[in-house]
Amino acid sequence: MLENCILLSLFAKENLAHMSEEQLNRYDRLINEPSNDWDIYYWATEAKPTPVEFDTDVMAMLREFAKNRNREQRLRQPDLEYLFEAPR
């Protein structure tokens, strides 16, 4: 679904390079285990409570990211060139 594609890809661009291996494993589990993409979106936007097994530091980071406190325009996924740049 487009909403998750935008949310998760922008979150990944901003955070993956700085996450620990354990956090990366939790992120991988989060994006691959739930069978319903809407669940991830609802948890990230706090429309529904996050189940205990997914309520981790990574989910807290995603929830904070979803709040978009800087009011950035998030209308499309990022270009993938960032994958080939050195981490900042």
Note down pLDDT in tens along the chain; length 88 residues.
788 888 999 999 999 999 999 999 999 999 999 888 899 999 999 999 999 999 999 999 999 999 988 888 776 677 766 666 676 6
Q: Is residue 73 a part of any domain in this protein? A: yes
Whether the model clears a pTM of 0.85, i.e. scores above it, the answer is no
- The secondary structure of residue 74, as a DSSP letter, is -
Q: Is residue 12 a part of any domain in this protein? A: yes
pLDDT of 37 reads 86
CB 34 within 8 A of CB 40: yes
Q: Is residue 33 a part of any domain in this protein? A: yes
Number of structural domains in the chain: 1
CB 74 within 8 A of CB 6: yes
Q: Is residue 7 a part of any domain in this protein? A: yes
CB 79 within 8 A of CB 9: no
Q: Is residue 69 a part of any domain in this protein? A: yes
Q: Is residue 88 a part of any domain in this protein? A: no
CA distance 2 to 86: 28
pLDDT of 4 reads 85
CA distance 36 to 28: 15
